[in-house]
Amino acid sequence: MPELKGCQRRYLRGLAHRLKPSVFIGKQGLTEMVYMAIEQALISNELVKISFMAFKQKEAKKRLAADIEHNTGCCLVGTVGHTALFYRPHPQPAKRRIILPASSAGDD
């Protein structure tokens, strides 16, 4: 997935403001069931909030977020506290729910 531009990240964070976390990562970490839940949420919604319940250290959350990005092909939009936001467009363009704004000149 191509890197998101700043305006696209802002747009996605605005959409996610009303969302509740749909996947919770507990003390067992990233299990096969967690990956299946993330995959299903990304296919259904394209934009997913994930709550890190048992991982309170910043480095642990960064590592988990990088693993999620790598293994699911999604993009980390941002983190706030113990919650991370991920985006991946639907593989079928006709079924996409979110249309990202075009990047503006000078936006990085």
- pLDDT tens sequence across 9-45: 999 999 999 999 999 999 999 999 999 999 999 999 9
Report pLDDT digits (tens) over 37-94: 999 999 999 999 999 998 889 999 999 999 999 999 999 999 999 999 999 999 999 9
pTM value?
0.90
Residues 66-88 as b/e (b if ≥16 CB within 10 A, e otherwise) read eebbeebebbbbbeeeebbbbbb
Spell out the domains of the chain, with CATH numbers in brackets. 6-88 (3.30.110.60)
Element (H, E) at 48: strand 47-52
Cα gap 76→79, rounded to integer Å? 8
